[in-house]
Amino acid sequence: MRRPDPLPSIDEIRGRLAERGITHVGVTSADVLADTRAELLRRRAEGLHGDMGFTYRDPERSTDPTRAVAGARSVIVAAKPYLTEGDPPEPPAGSGPHASVGRYAWVDHYAPLRAALRDVSRQIRRADHRAVAFADDNSIVDRAVAHRAGLGWYGKNANLLLPGAGSWFVLGSIITTAPYDPTPGPAPDGCGSCVRCIDDCPTGAIIAPGVIDANRCLSWVLQKPGSIPAEYRAAIGDRIYGCDDCQDACPISVRLGGRNSIDLDPGADAWVDAIELLDADDDWIDNRYGHWYIADRDLRWVRRNALIVVGNVADPADGRARAVVERYRAHIDPILAEHADWAVARLDERVDA
């Protein structure tokens, strides 16, 4: 009969995760996140979730760690930075319309975080405890457990802000039956009277401190299936996936974020050639951008976004851009045809501007 391995201490876990670029680790209990559950239910009832699923789909489940791991006693929470020391160069002038990608999606930062947490989970299981790693998963509200574990405080843009580091992190956790002492939390508020994130949101999606109307948030608008409301299309600008404006405006994230940064991955995709994407087939798009969240894995939503970008940023005299949007105006998909119509009208409007 195999004898269990010793249960790793939190300090040992911190050291092991630090070797994988994970800079912040905390612990909280597996108690129900009652306040978070009530808030999710309230915002869903008010329609602020914008039909988003994820942790809104089943708040009773996503706020109860024991629903993810029966008998859970502890949640180990980890944050991995993704702010880079340097940024990729912007596309050269005259290279055609390019779309910008939110910093967190330049590469898949969740994959190495998930792999590191799974390694630790296996170590805990060898000590005869259950342990399951979660990252970017609707099983648990990651910001809520990270907040309760003392990693940081909620900024007015609803992101978790880590002391001395800001919000340029991806979060993950290990839910386990192993008994670990909780770390002190939550962290004290560090925002004070600052409202720069609220002021700089391009669509006014931050309707109260810490409260986001997902219907207006461009990060969700660009992921949500269906037709993008006309009133947000110009505000999308050159974005194809993600929006960093509220983080870029945050003094905590901008001034102090560099204390926890990483080298730029040589495969980082910060810019997308919108014409190349609109000319590409599904396999090409999926191979290149498959780590993005795309509703139902339906790549029409990426093409929809690219059409808006062409309308917003292409040179109205660019014959290649004009030819692509004209081709999409005749597309069998009515949503793509509609957005192509808008792109043509937007190009014409910009000629007269």
Secondary structure letter of residue 326 according to DSSP = H
Question: What are the angstrom distances between the C-alpha of 316 and each of 97, 156, 169, 327?
Answer: 10, 38, 38, 16
As beta bridge partners, residue 28 has 75
To the query of whether residue 136 is one of the catalytic residues in this protein, the response is yes
Proportion of the chain in helix, strand, coil states, percent, rounded to 5: 40, 15, 45
Is residue 233 within 8 Å of 342, Cβ to Cβ? yes
Secondary structure letter of residue 162 according to DSSP = B
Per annotation, catalytic residue among 31, 58, 136, 200: 136
Which regions of 42-130 does DSSP assign to beta strands (E)?
74-81, 98-101
Residue of 149, 161, 154 lying closest to 186 (CA atoms): 149
Q: Are strands 239-241 and 98-101 parallel, antiparallel or unpaired?
A: parallel
**Helix, strand or coil, per DSSP, at residue 120:** helix
Residue of 230, 240, 120 lying closest to 176 (CA atoms): 120
Is residue 149 within 8 Å of 182, Cβ to Cβ? yes
CA–CA separation, 167 and 179 (whole Å)? 29
Is residue 317 within 8 Å of 347, Cβ to Cβ? no
Is residue 221 within 8 Å of 270, Cβ to Cβ? no
Is residue 267 within 8 Å of 126, Cβ to Cβ? no
CA–CA separation, 187 and 178 (whole Å)? 24
Residue numbers annotated as active site:
136
